[in-house]
Chains A and B, each alone.
Chain A
Amino acid sequence: MADKLGAVPASIVLDRSINLKPLKRVSVAVLSCNRRDDLEKTLDQLFAKEDLWNEVIVVDNTSTDGSWEMVEKRFPDVKLVDSGGNIGTAGSNLAFEAATGDWILSLDDDSYPVIESLGPICEAIESNRPEAAIALSIRKKWAPVVSTGSRSQPLKEAFGFSGAGVLFNRKAIGDIGGYDQDLFLFTNELDWTARALGMGWRLASCDDAVVIHRSTPANRSSLRHAHYYCRNTLVFLMRYAPKPLLANLLSGYLRDIFLFTVLHGSGAYLRAFREARKMLKHFKSTPGNRLSKEQFLEIKPDLRAPFSYLG
C-alpha cells in the first residue's frame, strides 16, 4: 500500500515558538448537539494549554446525551449557554452575544484548532486585521501533521468559510449580525458571506492555520441534509444571485430539483422547494442585497452539492 503522505494536500506548518498571547483576545464559540464524546475531545484540545483563550463558550442545542452535565463536571471554566431548543446553526448567535473577546473563533463540536499552526492568526489579531472573518483551513482527522520549518503563507482574500473553523471579527458580527435563524442548517455561512460583502466587509483565509474537523457521522441524517441544503440554496439564489445571472441559475437549479426527484425517487427536494417558496413569500428584493456578478462567481456556490446526500 502506498504511503498516505502522498495524498496530503499541504503539510501543516507547526511552530512551537509562536507567541500565543494574542489568543487571549479570542472567545471560542462551540456549537454542540448530542455529540458528548466529540465535544469532550474538542474541549480537551482547547484546554490542552492553560490560560490560552479569553473564554470558551459552549452553546448546547438541547442535547439529551449528557453533554451539559459532562461540561459542567469536567470543564468548569466553560461558559455554558442553553439554546432552549434545537435552533440549528443560529445557536452560534447566542455565543456571539455572550462573547467578550475582540475575535470569536467558531468551531463545531467535532472540530478543534491545531494550536501550533495558529501563528498567522496570532499575527492577524495583533495587527488588528480589518476583515470580517478569517477562514481557517479545515482538514480531516487522518491528514498527517508534518512539522516543517517553512514560513507560513500570508492571509489571502476569501469569499467563504466553514463554521467549523472561522475567526470572526466581533465588530463585524455587531454590524452584520449573526447567522439567519430561518435557515436552520446549511448555507448559513454563504448567507453571512453575502451579507458581509454587501455591507462592504471583506473576508480572508489562512491556509496554514488548521482546524481538524472529524466530521463525525452522528446526527448527520442524509434526508435532513438534503432537505435543508436544497431549500436554503434556492433561498440563497433568490436573495443574492446577481440580476443578470438569476434567471439562468434558477432555471438550472429548479431543473436539478426535478431531475433528482426522479433519479433519487424521493420527494425531499420538492418539499424543500415548497418550503423555500413559503420562506420567500414576503421577501422583497433590493438591489443592494444582490451580489455583483464578480462576487457571485468568486463565492461560486456548488449548486449540485444539495443533491449528493441521497441516491
Chain B
Amino acid sequence: MKKPILIVRTVSVEKISEALDLCLEKWPGHPLIVATTANRSKELANDNRIDRLEIVDTGPRGYDRIFHLEEHLEAVVFPIGNKNGSGYGNVFRAFSSLCARNFYMSPYCRDFRSMGRLRLKLKYGTELALEELLSVFGRIWAQRLIRGIDL
C-alpha cells in the first residue's frame, strides 16, 4: 500500500481541482487525502479523486491550530495563491509536525516546490515572528485612525 498524500485545502474548489490532478500525475497510485474545514468539506464530498477528507478544527484565522495525524505520509502539499507562500505562515505551522517524507508548496497549483521540514519551519517561524513584531505598529496606527473619527 502506497503512503498517502495530504493536500491542505487553502484555495478555491476550482484551484484545488488542479492541485489534485497535479498530485495524481506526480504520485500515481498514492491515496489522496484532503485536509479541509468542516463548512467547506461539502464541496469536495463527491470528488472521486479524493480517498478521504480530514476535517480540521480552525480558529479565527483559519488553520491556526496544530493538526495531528498518526499516519505516515508520502508528502504534504500546500496549494498556494502566490509564488513564495508568503502569508501562509499559520498554515505551514499547523501542518508542519505531520510525519511526512517531504513538504511541497504548489504555487498557483501549477507545479511543486519542495521545502523540507527545516525550511518549512524557518519560513513560518520568520513570518510569524515578523507578524508578532508588526502587530505593535498595527495597534498604534489603529488607535491613531480611530481617534480621527467620531464613533
Contact = CB atoms under 8 A, between A and B. Distances in A.
A6 B149 contact: no
B125 to A, nearest CB: 14
A227 B119 CA distance: 30
Given A254-B138, A259-B130, A308 B150 contact: no
A310 B150 CA distance: 34
B87 to A, nearest CB: 6
A9 B13 contact: yes
Interface stretch (A25-33, A45-53, A242-250): A242-250
A251 B13 contact: no
A70 interface: no
B146 A311 contact: no
Interface stretch (A122-130, A173-181, A260-268): A260-268
A277 B149 CA distance: 11
Interface stretch (A96-104, A160-168, A279-287): A279-287
A281 to B, nearest CB: 8
Interface in B53-89: 81-84, 86-87
Contacts of B141: 250-251, 254
Interface residues of A, number: 40
Given A254-B138, A258-B138, A310-B82, A7 B13 contact: yes
B11 to A, nearest CB: 10
Interface string A296-311: 0000000010011111
Nearest to A234: B145
Given A2-B21, A284-B149, A264 B138 contact: no
B49 A2 contact: yes
Contacts of B143: 247, 251
A251 B142 contact: yes
B131 interface: yes
Contacts of B47: 6-7
A307 B131 CA distance: 14
A238 interface: yes
Contacts of B87: 259-260, 263, 304, 307-308, 311
Contacts of B149: 238, 280, 283-285
A255 B48 contact: no
Given A2-B21, A284-B149, A311-B82, A255 B13 contact: no
A224 interface: no
Contact of A308 (B16, B46, B82, B135): B82
A311 B86 contact: yes
8 contacts: A4-B21, A256-B138, A258-B137, A259-B127, A263-B127, A309-B82, A311-B83, A311-B87
Given A256-B138, A257-B138, 5 more contacts: A7-B49, A9-B13, A251-B143, A254-B145, A260-B87
Across chains A and B, which 8 residue pairs bring their CB atoms closest together, nearest first?
A255-B138, A7-B17, A250-B142, A251-B142, A263-B86, A6-B47, A2-B49, A254-B138
